[in-house]
């Protein structure tokens, strides 16, 4: 059996570009956070929390989306499927080609070009460990431009998630504004979580490119009644394996630097350390992983100088923690299926999917 890399056509047209120096206003950032907290809330509720009217909120959001400065997506993250963080060493003359090829594959849901001995960091999801092994050996092992040798590819498997991108907030709202976004009669999380069905999968595929698509539009595309769509959407928003995620172009939002750390933490302190690091405002991703370094931490900061300050804070708080590696991201090529330009703005979408074996 050989692993089959099936590139997915990029959906969406190139958005209208604001000036490269465009920065998001405080109102824009507040709007983004409101949608992070309440992804499908009506514009009246979003606007009330932000302090603008509903028409202005909807119009401003549409401007952000058209410019690739912010976007909304939805996806399922089944707990049983392995997620791997794969470092890949590439030849410099083939780096762009390798990045473009891997960006077109659904199971590589995020890619960062990094400064260090490994030029690419891949975030990969597979059906099982057999499929993951096939991806590493049959795909990466045969990709022209990936360096030869046993040290050219390094795989770390996720064992526990403390925070991922859908849990990161802009922190432009105060506690009272966030309270307005959550209705007092909100439904609690269900005790029994039913498995996702085919209709749910169709809805999530339709929401992947735009998590705020109207119910009527979703009903037509998914061949469901509008009533069924509303009911299923309400359930999906409470499902622990489903994430509605509002993302933002990091440079325009004021966080131009991504710093990723490989940390070694004593096993008996791993859970407490992971939870504490996940609570930091800078943390975008914090996961326990396999390997010599058992914790992977990805942060957004405002300057390279902040990297040292952040690392110092972490070391003082956790004296037994050891930083084994630190690296900066030069360019995020893809984030949770969204293709990004060098400024971090969305320019296309490749729906995330699991790996497939060709027989």
Q: Is the pLDDT of residue 318 over 50?
A: yes
CA dist., res. 243 & res. 77, Å (int):
8
Q: Is the pLDDT of residue 3 over 90?
A: no
CA dist., res. 254 & res. 160, Å (int):
29
Q: Is the pLDDT of residue 247 over 70?
A: yes
Tokens of 144: 């022209």
pTM for the whole structure: 0.90
Q: What's the confidence (pLDDT) of residue 357?
A: 44
Q: What's the confidence (pLDDT) of residue 80?
A: 82
Three-state SS string over the chain comes to: CEECCCCCCCECCCCCCCCCCCCCCHHHHHHHHHHHHCCCCCHHHHHHHHCCCHHHHHHHHHHHHHCCCEEEEEEECCCCCCEEEEEECECHHHHHHHHHHHHCCCCEEEEEEECCCCCEEEEEECCCHHHHHHHHHHHHHHCCCECCCCCCEEEEEEEEEEECHHHCCCCCCCHHHHHHHCCCCCCCCCCCCCCCCHHHHHHHHHHHCCCCCCHHHHHHHHCCCHHHHHHHHHHHCCCCCEEEEEEECHHHHCCCEEEEEEEECCHHHHHHHHHHHHCCCCEEEEEEECCCCCEEEEEEECCHHHHHHHHHHHHHHCCCCEEEEEEEEEEEEEECCEEECCCCCEEEECCCCCCCEEC
Average pLDDT over residues 92-114: 95
Q: What's the confidence (pLDDT) of residue 2?
A: 43
Q: What's the confidence (pLDDT) of residue 196?
A: 86
Average pLDDT over residues 92-120: 95
Tokens of 99: 């990045």
Look at 314 and 354; give whichever has higher pLDDT.
Answer: 314
Q: What's the confidence (pLDDT) of residue 6?
A: 44
**127-186 pLDDT, tens per residue?**
999 999 999 998 898 899 999 877 899 999 999 999 999 999 999 999 999 999 987 655
Q: What's the confidence (pLDDT) of residue 320?
A: 95
**323-342 pLDDT, tens per residue?**
999 999 999 999 999 999 99
Contact of 355 with 126, CB cutoff 8 Å = yes
Q: What's the confidence (pLDDT) of residue 12?
A: 53
């Amino acid at each position: 059996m050989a692993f089959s890399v099936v590139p997915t056509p990029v959906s969406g047209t190139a958005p209208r570009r604001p000036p490269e120096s465009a920065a998001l206003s405080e109102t824009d950032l507040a709007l983004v956070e409101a949608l992070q907290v309440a992804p499908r809330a009506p514009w009246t509720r979003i606007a009330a929390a932000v302090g603008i009217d509903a028409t202005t909120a909807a119009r401003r959001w549409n401007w952000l989306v058209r410019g690739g400065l912010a976007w909304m997506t939805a996806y399922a993250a089944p707990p049983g499927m392995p997620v791997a963080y794969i470092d890949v060493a590439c030849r410099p003359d083939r780096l762009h080609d390798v990045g473009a090829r891997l960006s077109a594959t659904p199971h590589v849901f995020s890619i960062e070009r990094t400064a260090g001995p490994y030029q690419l960091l891949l975030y990969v999801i597979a059906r099982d460990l057999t499929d993951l092994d096939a991806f590493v050996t049959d795909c990466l092992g045969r990709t022209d431009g990936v360096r030869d040798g046993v040290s050219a590819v390094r795989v770390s498997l996720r064992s526990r998630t403390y925070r991922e991108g859908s849990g990161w907030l802009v922190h432009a709202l105060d506690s009272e504004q966030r309270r307005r976004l959550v209705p007092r009669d909100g439904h609690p999380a269900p005790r029994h979580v039913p498995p996702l069905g085919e209709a749910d999968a169709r809805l999530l595929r339709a929401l992947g490119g735009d998590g705020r698509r109207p119910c009527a539009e979703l009903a037509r595309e998914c061949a469901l009644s509008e009533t069924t769509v509303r009911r299923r959407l309400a359930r999906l928003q409470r499902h622990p394996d489903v994430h509605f995620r509002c993302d933002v172009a990091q440079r325009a939002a004021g966080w131009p630097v991504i710093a990723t750390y490989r940390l070694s933490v004593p096993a008996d302190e791993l859970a407490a350390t992971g939870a504490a690091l996940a609570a930091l405002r800078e943390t975008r991703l914090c996961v326990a992983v396999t390997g010599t370094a058992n914790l992977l931490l990805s942060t957004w900061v405002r300057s390279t100088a902040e990297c040292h300050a952040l690392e110092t804070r972490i070391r003082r708080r956790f004296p037994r923690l050891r930083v084994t590696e630190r690296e900066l991201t030069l360019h995020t090529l893809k984030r949770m299926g969204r293709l990004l330009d060098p400024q971090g703005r969305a320019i296309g979408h490749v729906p995330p999917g699991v790996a497939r074996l060709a027989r």
